[in-house]
Amino acid sequence: GAVLTAATVTVSLGAAPAVATGRGHGAGHGGSGGTGAPGVGDDYFPAAGNGGYDVLHYGLDIRYEPVSRAFTGVATLSVRATERLSRFNLDLRGFEVRSVTVDGRPARHDRDGQELRISPRYGLARGERFTVVIRYDGTTGRPTDNEGALYGWVSTPDGAFVANEPDGAPTWYPVNDHPTDKASYDFRITVPAGSTAVANGELVDRRTSGGWTTFVWRARDPMASYLSTASVGDYDLRFSRGPRGLPIIDAVDRDLGPDAAAGLDRTKEMIAYFSDLFGRYPFSSYGAIVDDDSDAGYALETQTRPIYSGPPSESTVAHELAHQWYGNSVSPASWQEIWLNEGFASYAEWLWEEHTGGRTAQARFDTNYARPETASLWNPPPGDPGASNLFAGSVYTKGAMTLHALRKKIGDRAFFALLRTWYSGNRNDTASTADFVRLAERTAGRQLDAFFQTWLYTPGKPTSW
Ligand code: ARG
Ligand code: ZN
For a pocket test of ligand 1, which of 150, 289, 298 has the largest count of ligand atoms closer than 8 A to its C-beta? 298
The ligand minimizing its distance to the Cα of 392 is 1
Which pLDDT score is estimated for 440?
A: 98
Q: Which residues line ligand 1 (CB under 6 A)?
A: 145, 147, 149, 151, 165, 298-301, 319-320, 342, 391
The rounded Cα 128 to chain-centroid distance in angstroms is: 27
Query: How would residue 197 be classed by pLDDT, with cut points 50, 70 and 90?
Result: very high
Handedness of CA 98, 103, 104, 106 (dihedral sign): negative
Average pLDDT for the chain: 93
DSSP helix/strand/coil, 423? helix
Q: What predicted TM-score, i.e. pTM, was given to this entire model?
A: 0.93
Whole-angstrom Cα distance, residue 290 to residue 162? 12
User: What digits encode the pLDDT tens for the residues 269-323?
Assistant: 999 999 999 999 999 999 999 999 999 999 999 999 999 999 999 999 999 999 9
User: What digits encode the pLDDT tens for the residues 40-57?
Assistant: 999 999 999 999 999 999
For ligand 2, the distance from its centroid to the CA atom of residue 304, given in whole angstroms, is: 14
- Provide the β-strand partners of residue 55: 79
Query: How would residue 135 be classed by pLDDT, with cut points 50, 70 and 90?
Result: very high
Cis peptide before 372 (omega within 30 of 0): no
Which pLDDT score is estimated for 33?
A: 85
Cβ of 129: how many Cβ atoms within 10 Å?
A: 14
* Closest C-alpha to ligand 1, atom 2: 300
User: What digits encode the pLDDT tens for the residues 227-255?
Assistant: 999 999 999 999 999 999 999 999 999 99
Whether ipTM exceeds 0.95:
yes
Which pLDDT score is estimated for 19?
A: 34
For ligand 1, the distance from its centroid to the CA atom of residue 446, given in whole angstroms, is: 34
The ligand minimizing its distance to the Cα of 298 is 1
Angle at 403 between CA 401 and CA 408, to 5 degrees: 95
For ligand 1, the distance from its centroid to the CA atom of residue 126, given in whole angstroms, is: 36
